[in-house]
Amino acid sequence: MSSISSIKAFTTLALNDDNLKYFIGRKRIVGDMLSLILDHQNFGVTGAPGTGKTTLFNFLKSELESTKNFKRKHKVLSFPFTIPNTADFLKRLLFILLENLKQSDVKKIDLSKIKDDYLYTNGIQEFLRSLVRYEPSRELDAYQVLRLYSDFLINEMKNASPSKTVKFLSPDKLLFVIVKILKNLKKHLIFFVDDIDKVIYDPLTNSTSENRLASFLFELKEIMELSNTTWVFTLPLDFYNKYKISFNKPESTSFLGIFSDIFLLHNFTRKRTVDLLRTRLGFSNFEGKIIDYIDSYSLNLLLDLSRGNPRLFLYFLLKAFKFKESIKDNLLQEEFVEIENETDDSRIKVNHILSSIDYIFKLDDRNKKILAYIAYKQSVDSGNHSLQEKTGLDRLSLNRRLKELTEAGILDYFLDQYGKRIYITRKLT
Ligand SMILES: Nc1ncnc2c1ncn2[C@@H]1O[C@H](COP(=O)(O)OP(=O)(O)OP(=O)(O)O)[C@@H](O)[C@H]1O
Ligand SMILES: [Mg+2]
């Protein structure tokens, strides 16, 4: 019997240069995005967690790298931090620029001088922060504070060469310095800013995250509009819903005048999710068809449970696989137990899936039996005698459980011709 040689291909992490060969689909969106980038247009990407935004960014970057003449005229940088306020964002941005640009990438400005100023500013910020944090408990008097400050200065000056004057970068000056660097770049800069969609609600200002993000982006407008930079952002879904082009609200059709487009990454269709599995199995040296690896009832159950989210699909699959392997080991240990009648079927089966996800969906044994029944028979109603018998539940209790599983989002129902509820696993809509 064929088996997979490693589970590496089933990673739930974003694909990167080492495994972009697993990338599938998204052809049209990739084409549209690449041409926007080559036209130097800013745009946003949005989608539910785990739909593949980071993976898509990595794919775009690698496509750009291999585009003819691209590297001669462009430089690509990434901003992988979740930072919701402008001052911290600009500070990180300057740091990334200083880390990644060489003196030969810019004209007219002295990067090493800016680096000194940056380090000095960072040092003084850390110094002040430590004072605020420790001073009350240490009960320093004013004189001691001054002494600490002078120690700090002496230390800083020792590191800087005496011929250089070091200047403190105030927050307004930060923007000025960044604009100066960007304007003097010899190449066009493409900036990928991931995870801005993780910006959360701020209870202090009582503003919703999409409003806060909008004002954050407005503050960055000056740099995002520079003609020799292009910005690609991940954006939260609620931001997209608020600012997307809507024909009913023509006054809001501008994406804030910052993005020329915002792309919504849709969930995978069933067909594409199966394609994902086929691709990953292929790279795991699995010889055989998909149904030699997982039986069709289980595959359908997994497809329903993960609802087109590639990360969830891979996560559930991997869990089921590991669960199956763990009980196989047990069987080997107890080889004396009579297993002669067992067929040599090493596929992932419904019980593996249900057992590996029971804690996520809080399934007890009876609920597992209900779900297994539906996985095999497609649908069920509370009057089903066979299921009542299997679970030891009467009609009322079964009915209650079916309702609860529906409220939990696992099941769905439709009404048959007599108005009776027929329960099925919830499908992707
Ligand atoms: N186009 C694709 N082809 C193959 N696999 C994909 C694709 N898109 C996403 N995946 C898989 O889905 C999983 C999640 O992808 P990724 O981390 O890029 O999502 P994300 O949208 O950035 O998530 P988050 O919102 O949590 O940052 C990964 O395991 C990745 O391998
Ligand atoms: Mg991501």
**What is the rounded average pLDDT for all residues in the chain?**
86
Q: Is the pLDDT confidence value at 340 over 80?
A: no
CATH number assigned to the domain with residue range 373-429, chosen from the 4 options 3.40.50.150, 1.10.150.120, 1.10.10.10, 3.40.980.20: 1.10.10.10
Q: What is the pLDDT of residue 288?
A: 86
Q: Is the pLDDT confidence value at 164 over 80?
A: no
The pLDDT of 340-363, averaged and rounded, is 80
Indicate the pLDDT class of residue 337, thresholds 50, 70 and 90.
very low
Ligand 1 centre to CA of 8 (Å) is 15
What CATH superfamily classification does 27-101+185-264 receive? P-loop containing nucleotide triphosphate hydrolases (3.40.50.300)
Ligand nearest to the Cα of 198, by number: 1
Nearest ligand 1 atom, CA 26: 1
Using an 8 Å Cβ cutoff, are 420 and 381 in contact?
Answer: yes
- What percentage of the chain carries pLDDT values higher than 90? 55
Indicate the pLDDT class of residue 344, thresholds 50, 70 and 90.
low
Helix orientation angle between 296-306 and 365-377, rounded to the nearest 10 degrees: 110
Nearest ligand 1 atom, CA 47: 21
Q: Is the pLDDT confidence value at 206 over 70?
A: no
- Using alpha carbons, list the distances in angstroms from residue 107 to 51, 76, 111, 115, 242: 40, 18, 10, 16, 41
Which residue puts its alpha carbon closest to atom 16 of ligand 1?
A: 52
The pLDDT of 236-244, averaged and rounded, is 81
Reported as type and span, the H/E element at residue 178 is helix 171-183
Which residues form the pocket of ligand 1, taking CB atoms under 6 Å from any ligand atom? 11-15, 22-26, 47, 49-55, 276, 310-311, 314
Ligand nearest to the Cα of 276, by number: 1
Q: What is the pLDDT of residue 81?
A: 80
Q: What is the pLDDT of residue 1?
A: 46
Indicate the pLDDT class of residue 336, thresholds 50, 70 and 90.
very low
Domain spans of the chain? 27-101+185-264, 109-179, 373-429
The pLDDT of 117-130, averaged and rounded, is 83
Most confidently modeled range among 82-91, 151-160, 360-369: 360-369
Ligand 1 centre to CA of 155 (Å) is 46
Q: How far is CA 112 from the centre of its chain?
A: 35
Ligand nearest to the Cα of 19, by number: 1
Which residue puts its alpha carbon closest to atom 29 of ligand 1?
A: 12
Which residue puts its alpha carbon closest to atom 8 of ligand 1?
A: 52
The pLDDT of 319-346, averaged and rounded, is 66
Q: Look up tokens 């620029």; give the residue.
A: 97
Q: Is the pLDDT confidence value at 40 over 90?
A: yes
